Every structure is written in C-alpha cells, then in structure tokens.
Amino acid sequence: MKTIFLAFFLLFALSTTLPSTAANLAYDTDGEPLKNGGTSYHIIPVFRGRGGGLELGKTGKETCPLTVVQARSELNPGLPAAFGSLINFPFIREDMNLSISFTEVPEDCVPKPSQWDIVEEFPIGWFVKVVGNERFVDSSKIKKYEKYGPLDYKLVYCPGAGNVCGDLGIHNRRLVVSDGNPFIVNFRKAFTESSVN
C-alpha cells in the first residue's frame, strides 16, 4: 500500500512541477531548449537592416578586440557563444544567472575562455567586454520578449544578488547596459565543420 501511495505522490509531484519548468525554458530558433554549456549559438538580432550578430571589436585604446559589439553587416551572424550556469540543470531557464562566453575568437590576444563581463568607462557608462577565466562571471540572464515573436529574447545584466536587472542594448555598436532599450535577439545554433562531419 505504501508503494502505491508513494508512486501516486511522485506522479503528482512530477506532473505539477514539469510544466512550469518547461514554460520557463529559453529556446533557439529551431524551437529547442538552449543547452547549459557545450552547445554554441549565434546571438542574432530580431530586426534586420541594423546590423548583424554579436562579435568582438576594438574600441577606445584597445590593441586587441575585447569589446562586445554588433557586427556592421546583417549577413554576419557574429561569433558563436555558449551559456553556462552553476545550477545543475541541462537547459537554460529564464531565472538562471548565466555566464556567457564566446567559444571562437578572432585573435590570439583575446583571453580564453572569453567570458563576458560588465565594465564602466567614462563617458560611455557600463558596457560588455571579455575577460579571462580568473573567476566565473554569472551576472547575465535571458528574458523572454514576446512583443514580436515567441522565440524573441533580451539579455539583461543582474549585478549582485540578481534581483535588479538592466537591459543590454546597442549604442554606437557596443553592447551596453541600456534600460528600456533592449537588443531583441534570437539564438541560432552555430555549426562548425567538426559538428557537421
């Protein structure tokens, strides 16, 4: 009798928790959940004609491309990126604090892994650069932005405990903390030669 009761309890618990977890997942352009680590994605704009995906560029006095920028050409999907979380779950949920890293970089001078972090520079304000692997940077989140389509998202920066977040938007090609003017994106799987063969 106890076994039957336990089986019904587990069935009830799973049926009440799985839909909410699935509803909170972030999805790629194929309608599949984003994977936590390993799989690379191009972060591409929803709106065409204003530029392409996210890549690295030299800004200010940089001698190496360390600033996350939007590609000038809308035909350029940008660099592939991966999402990681310290939470032991195979997929990315909207409530997860994330580390975002470029998985392929254009020059040897760029630190690897190429984690994103927020830096402040006057008079620009807060913007995104890549840093080395001295610490795990998990101050980003993915949030659904359903105003235009079901697979549209925005990236947000959540410092500290992550309760207060700021939108990441584009200003002069840079990815910056820009409340109220988010960069609306889709996530498209990045295919390399090794993954095709």
The predicted structure's pLDDT at residue 23: 62
Which parts of the chain register pLDDT below 50? 1-20, 193-197
The predicted structure's pLDDT at residue 114: 92
Residue 96's nearest CA partner among 106, 104, 105, 87 is 87
The predicted structure's pLDDT at residue 148: 80
Domains present along the chain, CATH in parentheses? 27-191 (2.80.10.50)
Output the CA angle 82-86-88, nearest 5 degrees: 100
Model pLDDT for residues 51-77, shown as the tens digit of each residue: 999 999 999 889 999 999 999 999 999
The upper half-sphere exposure of residue 170, i.e. CA atoms within 13 Å in the direction of its Cβ, equals 19
* Amino acid code (one letter) for 187: F
The predicted structure's pLDDT at residue 122: 75
**CB of 65 within 8 A of CB of 56?**
yes
The predicted structure's pLDDT at residue 161: 61
* Structure token pair of residue 107: 């020059």
- pTM, full prediction: 0.83
